[in-house]
Amino acid sequence: MGIDHNLKVQAMNRHRLRLFGDVALQVYEMTPEAGETVAGTFAVDWKGHRIVPTTSPEQQRDSSEWQFQIVAAPDWITSQTFMLKAVALIVTSKRWKILKVEKPIGNSLVWKVRAQEQK
C-alpha cells in the first residue's frame, strides 16, 4: 500500500482511540443453525462516527445512525466475505444494527458500514 493509505489508516486509528478507546469491533452474522454469531473481529484499523441528520445549524440533533469505516484485507474478496452478510456491530457494550454495507472499491480497501445504534 502507498503512503496515502498508511496515513489514512493512522488517522482512522487516532479517531478510534479518541472516541472508543483501545477496543475491538466485532461483526456479527446470522445463520439459521447458530443464530447470531461473531463473524469477524477488528482490533485496529477502523473508526466510527455519528451521522448528523441535517446540515442546518438550527435543526441539528443527535442521530442514532452511525457510519463505520473498516480497513479491508488486500484479499477481502475471499477472506472477508462475511462482511456482506453482517447484521450487527458491537463495540464494548454498544450495539449497532447494520443498515448498509459498501464493499471496498478500487484501491480504497475500506469497508463502509452504515448502522443504527440499538439501545
pLDDT digits (tens, 9 = 90+) for 18-39: 999 999 999 999 988 888 999 9
The DSSP secondary structure of 33-67, one letter per residue, reads: TTEEEEEEEESSSEEEEEPPS-S-TTS----SEEE
Mean pLDDT of all residues in 12-17: 94
Look up the domain containing 69 and give its range: 3-53+61-118
In the structure grid, which three cell numbers stand for residue 43, read together?
482490533
Give the burial class of 69: count Cβ atoms within 10 A of its Cβ; 0-12 exposed, 13-18 middle, 19 or more buried: buried
pTM of the model: 0.86
How sure is the predictor about 55, in pLDDT bands with cuts at 50, 70 and 90? low
User: Is pLDDT above 70 for 1?
Assistant: no
Q: How far apart are CA 40 and CA 62, in angstroms?
A: 29
71 alpha-carbon distance from chain centroid: 9
Q: Number of structural domains, the chain?
A: 1
